[in-house]
Amino acid sequence: MNSAKYIILFIFIGSIYGQVPDNINKVVYKQMLILKSKLIANPISWQDTREGYLRNRAARVCDLALDSLETVDPIDLIGRYYPELDSLLININDGKEYEVVSPPYKNYQINYFYSSSKP
C-alpha cells in the first residue's frame, strides 16, 4: 500500500510540474544559436569535404528554425527541425568521406593523323 501512495504522489507531482514552460522561446533560440555558432566556427565547414557540406546544411537548418521561431509554436518547431538536425549531426560525427572515383589513367596518346587503311 505504501508504494501505491508513492506512485499516486509521483503522478500528481508530475502532472503539476510537467507542463510546457512559458520561456521555451528563449531556450530554443539560445540552443539553436549555440549549435549554429559551433557548426560554423569549425574551419572544416568551409572546406569542400563531406563534413563541411553537412556542417553547412545543418547551419542552414538552424537558420530556418531561427527564422520561423516567431511564427511557429516552439514545440512544433522542435518536432519539425530536430530530427533533421539530429541525423545531420550523426552524419557529421561518423567520420566518413565521399568516395571519389577517378577515370582510368591512359598512358598513351591517340594519333589522329595515322591512317591504317590500305589503298
In a domain, 45, yes or no: yes
In a domain, 16, yes or no: no
Q: For 23-64, what is each residue's pLDDT tens digit? A: 777 888 888 888 888 888 888 877 878 888 888 999 999 999
In a domain, 114, yes or no: no
Predicted confidence at residue 1, as pLDDT, reads 55
Looking at the structure of the chain, the number of domains it has is: 1
Report whether pLDDT(5) > 60.
yes
Q: Residue 54 belongs to what domain range?
A: 21-93
In a domain, 51, yes or no: yes
In a domain, 118, yes or no: no
Average pLDDT of span 84-92: 89
Q: Residues 6 or more apart from 33 whose CB is under 8 A from it? A: 62, 66
In 3D, which of 100, 104, 58, 52 has the Cα closest to residue 81? 58
